[in-house]
Every structure is written in structure tokens, then in C-alpha cells.
Structure 1
Amino acid sequence: MMLRIFILLLILIIVPPIYLDRTFMRRRKRRLLRLLLFLPNALMLVAAVILALFETYTPDNANATNLFLTLFTGYIVSEALLTVFLAIGHRFKQHSAWRKTLYTLGIIACVGNIYILIVGTTYGKYHIETKKQTITFPDLPQAFDGYRIVQLADLHIGSYRDNPQFIRHIVELVKAQKPDLIVFTGDLVNYNADELDPLLTELKQLEAPDGVISIMGNHDYMPYIKWATKKEQWDNIRKLQRNERNMGWNLLLNEHVFLKRANDSIAVIGVENDGNPPFPQRADLKKAQKGIPVGTNGKPFFKILLTHDPSHWRRNVLPETNIQLTLSGHTHGGQLKLFGFITPIALITSEWGGLYSEGQRKLYVSTGLGEALFTFRYGMWPQIDVITLQKGAS
């Protein structure tokens, strides 16, 4: 994963000190100061190369990557922000007031960045919010009017394997919502099924009248580790699947189950991960729906789809099915929201969190609970989603 962002890391590490040196320090005989300018960046560059070339996704390697990204965000990103404001201010040589204002804004941006980093890596990653969402459908069976679903997503349990009290806190918050059903929409682990071992007892306490239904996310296929053989990888995948079922979760692999209330029924469909490359594409919507009734009185049978990657909705779900509600995760909301409304992930995808509609068909994307690669959340706090189904005009 470090290789994917290596070019960006390289630019941010190399460009700012070169600009600062050429613009502000080159003509001054301050060799020690210039050395101090380049030394931290040189060390970060060496660390970036090592982590990118020798990424193993072991717990120690993951800790090293997280430490690197923390230092990178604190120092390199702050330096880059300062450089941007200094570069703009340098254009206003003849306007000292403007130049001083921009230089001051650069310092404020650095301080703000460090503040966000400290909050995001300490308070933010544990600050769970409960988001309640009512979703209305005209063809929802009457007996399911008011049905409550708690959606959990992207727990990435390896980030909390030494913190069982946090997992217990999640379980208690879920129980307090008194859901009819709990769904988990993928990415239970970071890189390896073994991450789950210390926390099986805690997660086994999740319960609801209609149980816990889960699916696989891209991380749950362990694609990032360099396995010796495919068999070793699949042995690890199957261990995770066994553990989910041993916890009492109903893991759906291109399958469905029926939920009944009085004389009414709905289907919950769970497909394997299906994302844009390089993520696994293993969903089989046709197989997963086999055996579900067409419907009655001209209305399609009511169906809820669990699919990890929200891009699956527009790629396949909308054009190939008549599924009314799709629940996804995967995006983490980018783990960052500034000033309550600026979400950088919106530059990458338009459906990253919350409720989306196409006619009477809906997609709900949870921004999830955990973190991948970098244990940090700011503004986009860990989230438990409580979805209430409502019958009526949408």
C-alpha cells in the first residue's frame, strides 16, 4: 500500500526543502541551518523507501508504517503547507502587508495541522458517534415498518487488538440501540486472520433478535501480505470465515437469508467483495439472489444487499438488479473532515458516506469504525449507523 502513494510521498519530502533552500537560504552562509533543513527530510526519504520496498504487513511493520505516517503528517505536511504560503507570499515582494499576512497564515496552517494530527491520533480514533438514518420505501412490507438495523463497517480489528475495552465499548453502544438486526459490511481485519484471535470473546457478545449478518471486505481476503503460496493465503481466509461463524455471525458469501415478521418476509443478500481494480471482484449477484421470489401484486420482493464497496452499486447493482436497499462501507469517509464540511475523499468519489438515491432505490454508505494504514480520524469520527426502515412515499 505504501508503494501506491510513494510518488506523492516523494514529492512532499523532496520539493519543499529544495524550494526553501533555493529561495531563502542559498545565498546565506548558514551551512548548519541548511543541514538541519535537509536532514529530517533525508531521514524520512530513507524510511519511505525502506517501508515501500520491504512492506510485510506484520504487526511490527504495521506499527512502523503508522509511526512513519504520524511523523510524515506532523513534519513533512506542515513543512509543505508552510512552503505553499511562503511561495505565495514571496510573490508579493512589493507588498509587505500581504507578504506578512501570508507568512502568518502559513504558521497558522502548520499549527493547525499539528493540532489535527494530535487530536486525530489520540481522541479522534476512539470518539464513536451514533448516526441515525430513517430510509423510506413504498414497497416495504408492513410488518417491517420501523425495523431497526445497526450497521457496522470497517472495524479493522488489528488496530485494536491490544485494546479490548474499546471493542467492549462498541458492543455496549450497539446493544443500547436495541436493533432487530446487526449487519457487518466487511473489512473485519487489516491483514491477517490472527488479528481477530484476542477479541473473539468481545465480538461474540454482539447479538440481536435476527442475529448478526456479515460479508467480506477487500482486507478480509488478505491480499496485501506476500504469502508463500495461494494455499497459505486461503487457509488464512478460511480461518477468518470460521471465526466469524464461531462468533455466531451469519457470513454470507454470494448467498441470502430471509427475515420474517408476521406474514411478511424480506431477503438480506450478502455478496463477496466487488471493487474497482486492484480490489477483489468476487461478487455473484445472480447466484446470491437465486431462490428469492420475484414478488407479488406487481411489486418486487423487498431485498437488502450487503456489498462492501459502494462503487458496486452503480457498476452492477443498479443496472442488473431491482434491489431496493444497498448497504456498503469501505471508504472510511477518508478518515478526515475539516471545518465540519470539507471532505477530501469527495475529490475521489461522489458516494463516500451517507444516503444516496436513484429513484426509489437507495444506497447507504457507512464511514465505518476503524482505520487502515494510519490510525487517525479527525472530523470523520468512528461511526455506528442505526438505520430504521419506514413504509411510505420516498
Structure 2
Amino acid sequence: MMTLIIFTVLFLVIDYYVYQAIKTVSEGWGPLWKNFLRIGFWVPTAWSIAALVWWTLGDPYAASTSTRNWIITGLVATYFSKLFAVVVLFVDDIYRGIKWMAKYFYKGPSNDLPGDAITRSDFLAKTALAAAAIPFGTMVYGIVSGAHDYRVRRKTVYFPKLPKKFDGIKIGQLSDIHSGSFFNKVAVKGGVEMMLKEKPDMIFFTGDLVNNESSEVKEYIDIFNKLKAPLGIYSVTGNHDYGDYHHWTSLAAKQQNFKDLMEAHKLLGFDLLMNQHRFISVEGEKLAVIGIENWGGGRFSKYGKLEQAYAGSEDAPVKLLLSHDPSHWDAQVRTQYPDIDIAFAGHTHGFQFGVEIGNVKWSPSQYAYRQWAGLYQEGSQYLYVNRGFGYLGYPGRIGMPPELTIIELKRA
């Protein structure tokens, strides 16, 4: 209840402050449009408070994950944007305070110029509303245009011990599908078709098929099961696949959900590696694909058992690891398994926000993860971090488009 009161008061204070700009800007308008703007301004406020009441006093987990994501996105987009207006208006208040003090203490001659110029307060009120509109518009654009703007990223990696029969093999990687967040089935199908056009020899899926519940993927089975590769499709679990962030009625329900998730991998045609490895053979030559359950740094779960998955693969000349969380690479892979040639990860989403222009690459993800997007190398070992196919929370992407990865392996 206290949380509800605090956020309600905070929303009302922010909106009352921004409303002053609305009043200033609409001052010279006709009665119809003036009232439409001024009354309409409070409609999102009423919606936001109603959403807060439902979230704190109702049962938000009775709604779908997608519904909850849209509500959170609406609240964040609305009030994050309004904070920009608040900053500008605060500058206006400081200016008016200084002006009032100067006028109170100094009675000098007037320096007014002839003509009607836009007042400072009117200018800053319009600036404040523009400052709020820019981030809000950007977030809307990230949903409409960025959420499904799939990009193919290609890299070539050289290994001296790569068997000749695997020279030039193409590996397609998908990660972080998060099927419970999708809102455009046609666009998702288009992304799958883009991967198929690349004709990869193998496909890796590196975790987070759903947000919380296995049921989220049901209506997308007939899309993702179209993925095919001659040497197979191999997958692992991510932190969201275990339902650890969901309110379950019982432990048995949570366990059944995970069993259903593993069954979904089978229906998709994915060979789910649960701390296991597979040998991929071509005309008598082989390499090893090793896959572990989620193993994350910090607060994330550590279900993965690399020692168990690795055992028996020692003789493979090249070893490929599927591990959802890139923090696993520094924490365990490089330090204890120097003969794992390349690891494939996801998890970060590139924060779904960033800038990548030429050699300039920035995202808030880099403050949480040393390796957060793209190809990394330490000595003779490599890590590729996929930026994700789907999205979580905010149903869009800004400057960090969803990714389809193609890694080509070549003999050095």
C-alpha cells in the first residue's frame, strides 16, 4: 500500500508540474482545443494510477506476460519522458526566481524593446514539451520499427586444428527468443525465413525461449520448427526458461512447466543439451558441440555443469560450447577449459539500446558485462555474444537491432 501511495503522489507531482507548461502553451488557443488539451492531459495520469492500483492490489500475474510488459512499458515511457520536461521547467523556475529577486531588490530603468517577442517562459514551456516528446517518440519508434528489424551479422573464425571436412562450415546462431513478448507473428516469421536463406550447416539456440511460462511458445511452434540445418539444431536453456521469476502456485507446477519447456524444444526440432555434448561427424572427421544449462554470474542461477558436459569430449580436435550467459566465459571456461575453442552466448540483448556506428560501440550493457555483444578473443579462445532475436520488458529496440548470427569456421 505504501508503494502505491508513494508512486501515486510522485506521478501527480510530476504531472502537475508538466501541466503548467500545457497551460502556458495553450493560453492563446480557442476554448475547444484548449479544454481538449488540458483535460486530455490528465487521461494518461488516470490510466497510470489505475494501472498502479491493479498492479499493487490486484493480481497482475493472472494476466499474460505480454500484458504486464505493455503496462510497464507504458508507465516507464510516459514518466521517463516527462522527467525531461520537468528538468527544463525547473530551469524556467530558477530563471523566474532570479528575475523576481532582481526586480524586487533593484528598481532600475526598463530595458524593454519595442515589439511583441515570445516570452522566456513561453519558450521554455514549449521546449519542455519538446524535450518530453523526443524520448517518448524514440521509444515508440523503437517498438514500431526496431523490435523486428532483424540484421544478419557475419564473422569468420580460424582454427588451426579444424578438421578439413569442416573447413568453411557455417553456423547460424539465435538467442533470447522470449516468445512471450512477441506482438507481431508475421515479422517473427520473416526473421526465421531470413535465417533459412543463409543456409547454415548447423544452428545454435543459446537460451531464453520464453519469459517465464512454457505456454508462451505454443503459438510460435509452427514458426520456429521451420528452422532446418543438415548437421542439426542444438539448444540450451537460459535463466528465464526455469520460471524463476514467476509466481507459481506450487513447486510441482514450476517443475511441470520446465518439463513442458523441454518438450517444446523437441517439438521445435531442437536437440536440447542439458549438460551434455554431441559429436558432429562428417566423413570420419568430427568436432564436439557442448551445451550446458544456464550458468550466470552474480545473482543469476548456476544450473550448468560444464565438467559433466565436457567429459568424454576431450579427443575432439575442436570444441564448440553453448552457454547462455557470457559471464561464464571469464569465470570458468577460459580459466579451466583452455581447449574449448569458441563459446556461443546471448543473455545481454545489448540492453536493447545502444549505438553502433563504425568502430564506435556503446550500450549500458557494457557496465554490467565485459563481453556484451559481438566477437571476443583471449589467446586462442573465442566468444560470440548474440544481441538476441526477441526482447524483454520494453517491447522494442533502439540502436540495437535483433540479430541473426552467421559464424563461418575456417582452417588457419
Q: How would you bin the TM-score normalised by the shorter chain?
A: 0.7 to 0.9
Q: Deviations over 1:15-38 (max 9, x none)?
A: 74587799999xxxxxx9999988
Note if 1:306 corresponds to 2:326.
no
Note if 1:67 corresponds to 2:84.
no
Question: Match for 2:217: what amino acid?
Answer: L
**Is the CA contact (8 Å cut-off) linking 1:143 and 1:262 kept in structure 2?**
yes
Tell me the residue number matched to 1:335: 352
**Is the CA contact (8 Å cut-off) linking 1:81 and 1:106 kept in structure 2?**
yes
> Aligned partners of 2:8 and 2:368: how far apart in 1?
21
**Is the CA contact (8 Å cut-off) linking 1:89 and 1:100 kept in structure 2?**
no
> Aligned partners of 1:109 and 1:361: how far apart in 2?
46
SS of residue matched to 1:123:
helix
Cα distance change, pair 163–87 in 1 and its aligned pair in 2 (3 A): closer
Tell me the residue number matched to 1:28: none
Q: Deviations over 1:262-311 (max 9, x none)?
A: 4432111000011135432101010001111246xxxxx31111011111
Task: Report the more deviating stretch, 275-284 or 333-342.
Answer: 333-342
SS of residue matched to 1:291:
coil
**Is the CA contact (8 Å cut-off) linking 1:55 and 1:61 kept in structure 2?**
no
Note if 1:385 corresponds to 2:405.
yes
Cα distance change, pair 15–261 in 1 and its aligned pair in 2 (3 A): farther
| Superposition pairs of residues 142-153 of structure 1, within 5 angstroms | 142-153=164-175
Cα distance change, pair 92–320 in 1 and its aligned pair in 2 (3 A): farther
Cα distance change, pair 355–86 in 1 and its aligned pair in 2 (3 A): farther
275, 280, 294: which one pairs with 1:273?
294
SS of residue matched to 1:390:
strand
How many residues are paired up? 375
> Aligned partners of 1:386 and 1:53: how far apart in 2?
47
| Superposition pairs of residues 235-250 of structure 1, within 5 angstroms | 235-250=256-271
SS of residue matched to 2:147:
helix
| Superposition pairs of residues 1-394 of structure 1, within 5 angstroms | 13=11, 16=14, 44=48, 47-48=51-52, 50-51=54-55, 56-58=60-62, 60-88=63-91, 106-160=128-182, 163-294=184-315, 301-322=317-338, 323-338=340-355, 340=357, 341-392=361-412
Cα distance change, pair 19–168 in 1 and its aligned pair in 2 (3 A): closer
Cα distance change, pair 294–19 in 1 and its aligned pair in 2 (3 A): farther
- Measured after TM superposition, the shift of residue 210 of structure 1 is 0.6
> Aligned partners of 1:36 and 1:293: how far apart in 2?
67
- Measured after TM superposition, the shift of residue 199 of structure 1 is 2.3
**Is the CA contact (8 Å cut-off) linking 2:234 and 2:272 kept in structure 1?**
yes
Q: Deviations over 1:240-266 (max 9, x none)?
A: 111211332110000000112344321
Question: Match for 1:83: what amino acid?
Answer: V
- Measured after TM superposition, the shift of residue 318 of structure 1 is 1.5
Cα distance change, pair 180–51 in 1 and its aligned pair in 2 (3 A): same
Cα distance change, pair 122–143 in 1 and its aligned pair in 2 (3 A): same
- Measured after TM superposition, the shift of residue 128 of structure 1 is 1.1
Cα distance change, pair 357–339 in 1 and its aligned pair in 2 (3 A): closer
Cα distance change, pair 46–331 in 1 and its aligned pair in 2 (3 A): same
SS of residue matched to 2:216:
helix
Q: Deviations over 1:164-218 (max 9, x none)?
A: 4333322211110010100100111122111222222222211101111011111
**Is the CA contact (8 Å cut-off) linking 1:274 and 1:307 kept in structure 2?**
yes
Question: Match for 1:312: what amino acid?
Answer: H
> Aligned partners of 2:311 and 2:177: how far apart in 1?
30
Question: Match for 1:254: what amino acid?
Answer: N
Question: What TM-score, normalized by structure 2, do the two folds share?
Answer: 0.79
Task: Report the more deviating stretch, 63-72 or 212-221.
Answer: 63-72
Task: Report the more deviating stretch, 104-113 or 236-245.
Answer: 104-113
Question: What TM-score, normalized by structure 1, do the two folds share?
Answer: 0.82
Name which one, 1 or 2, has greater alpha-carbon Rg. Answer: 2
> Aligned partners of 2:69 and 2:155: how far apart in 1?
33
- Measured after TM superposition, the shift of residue 330 of structure 1 is 0.9
Q: Deviations over 1:129-148 (max 9, x none)?
A: 11112222333333322111
Tell me the residue number matched to 1:298: none
**Is the CA contact (8 Å cut-off) linking 1:56 and 1:226 kept in structure 2?**
no
> Aligned partners of 1:206 and 1:166: how far apart in 2?
15
Unaligned runs of 5+ in 2: 24-34, 100-117
Quick one: percent identity of the two aligned structures? 31
**Is the CA contact (8 Å cut-off) linking 1:12 and 1:80 kept in structure 2?**
no
> Aligned partners of 2:243 and 2:288: how far apart in 1?
29
Task: Report the more deviating stretch, 145-154 or 45-54.
Answer: 45-54
> Aligned partners of 2:376 and 2:399: how far apart in 1?
21
Question: Match for 1:324: what amino acid?
Answer: D
> Aligned partners of 2:404 and 2:170: how far apart in 1?
13
Q: Please report the RMSD computed on the Cα atoms of aligned residues, expressed in angstroms.
A: 3.6
Q: Deviations over 1:321-379 (max 9, x none)?
A: 12111100111111112585542222332321111221121111101111112211122
> Aligned partners of 2:328 and 2:9: how far apart in 1?
33
